[in-house]
């Protein structure tokens, strides 16, 4: 099965042409988002990479996910180190960190 990823970097740009071209090329699963190419915290990119890697043999429990995110955010370990330590992909570490950061922001907003 072919998988496609269409990204545009500016809010006023449309991914329709890219998505259509990917569909015409035979892509059965398409991931689309609007995000800067220089940023690594792109949820759709991570979903696609996770699907391609097929490395989801074991689920990480919430405690391990929190440990990974906090270690990276506090600078104790790099994302690459945590990926090697837990035998997961670097995109998965980035996704875990981005999700944890969003949870923190949401909880801070709720407390305000």
Q: Is the pLDDT of residue 96 over 70?
A: yes
Give the pLDDT band (50/70/90) at residue 13: confident
Give the mean model confidence (pLDDT) for residues 52-69: 80
- Can you say whether the dihedral through the CA atoms of 85, 95, 26, 54 is positive or negative? positive
Task: Point out which residues pair with 29 in neighbouring strands.
Answer: 3
- Measure Cα distances from 56 to 10, 40, 88, 94 in Å: 32, 20, 8, 15
Give the pLDDT band (50/70/90) at residue 11: low
Query: What's the gap between Cα 78 and its chain centre?
Result: 16
Q: How many CA atoms lie within 13 A of 56 on its CB side?
A: 12
Reported pTM: 0.48
The segment with the largest mean pLDDT, out of 7-11, 12-16, 77-81, 86-90, is 77-81
Radius of gyration of the chain (CA): 16
Q: Is the pLDDT of residue 17 over 80?
A: yes
Cα–Cα nearest to 27, from 4, 51, 50, 53: 4
């Amino acid at each position: 099965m072919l998988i496609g990823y269409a990204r545009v970097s500016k809010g006023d740009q449309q991914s329709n042409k890219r998505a259509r071209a990917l569909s015409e090329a035979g892509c059965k699963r398409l991931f689309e988002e609007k995000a800067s190419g220089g940023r690594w915290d792109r949820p759709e990119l991570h979903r696609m990479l996770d699907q391609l890697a097929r490395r989801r043999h074991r689920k990480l429990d919430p405690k391990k996910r929190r440990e990974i995110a906090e270690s990276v955010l506090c600078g104790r370990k790099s994302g690459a180190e945590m990926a090697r330590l837990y035998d997961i992909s670097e995109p998965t570490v980035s996704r875990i960190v981005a999700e944890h950061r969003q949870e923190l922001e949401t909880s801070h907003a709720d407390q305000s």
